[in-house]
Amino acid sequence: NLEVLGRSGGIIGIPTPPPIFGIEYAFDSHRIYYWTLLIIILFAIWMVRRLSVRRAGRAWESIRQDEDAAELMGVPTFKYKVWAFVLGASVGGAAGVFYASKTLFIAPDNFTLQISILILACVVFGGMGNIWGVIAGAVILGYLPDRIRFLSDARLLVFGLVLVIMMNLRPDGLLPRKKREKALPNKDSNKEKS
């Protein structure tokens, strides 16, 4: 509740971004914000995909599978968990900056428990460990509540039922992550080679 941050009322009058490459950002320039957001999202996807095939990505995968086994194999789990947190916080912070510059106002009431649960549901619904699954989950779960708004209070019940049914039918999500497990060579094929 600092006065600099607007106390419980939030921050009002956040300025729009300065012109970038001659492009003016205004409150009503939805198309410019759309293309800017699309570029930011594509960059974040590219960055995460590049990291997933590097040493950090393999370390994160091993930590997700079995943290104790990863530690025993020499993966510094604390270091990679901190890096995962930093990367996630950076992407979330960039999204928050973009949101604040578009709405010109932020307050604690903008980020409710329901929003946090929706974000987590998008990840679980789409499929943890697969960026395209998370995107599909976000599109579907972002679209569904608006389509059933006519149900008023019952829409949350329908939304919850869809999630429960999905978790029972496909517990790994819509697009589960691909497992990168190597098959062990067959003993018979080793004898044939020698």
Domain assignments of the chain as residue spans, ordered by start: 1-108, 112-182
Q: What is the pLDDT of residues 94-140, one digit of tens each?
A: 888 888 888 888 887 777 887 888 888 888 888 777 788 888 888 88
Contact partners, residue 17, CB within 8 Å, separation at least 6: 25, 101
Q: What is the pLDDT of residues 84-94, one digit of tens each?
A: 899 889 988 88
Which candidate, 84, 27, 23, 39, places its Cα nearest to that of 59?
A: 84
Confidence of residue 79 (pLDDT cuts 50, 70, 90): very high
pLDDT at 184 over 60: no
* Higher local confidence (pLDDT), 69 or 1: 69
* pLDDT for the residue numbered 105: 82
* CA atoms within a 13 Å half-sphere pointing along the CA-CB vector of 47: 11
Give, as one character, the DSSP assignment of residue 106: E
* pLDDT for the residue numbered 85: 92
Q: Is the pTM of this model over 0.85?
A: no
Helix (H) or strand (E) holding 12: strand 11-12
* pLDDT for the residue numbered 189: 55
| Residue 57 near residue 51 (C-beta atoms within 8 A) | yes
The torsion angle over the Cα atoms of residues 19, 139, 41 and 110, rounded to 10 degrees, is: 60
Mean pLDDT of 152-158: 75
| Residue 114 near residue 27 (C-beta atoms within 8 A) | no
Q: What is the CA radius of gyration of the chain?
A: 22
* Higher local confidence (pLDDT), 170 or 181: 170
Mean pLDDT of 3-32: 75
pLDDT at 176 over 80: no
* pLDDT for the residue numbered 6: 67
Long-range CB contacts (< 8 A, 24+ apart) of 144-148? none
pLDDT at 181 over 70: no
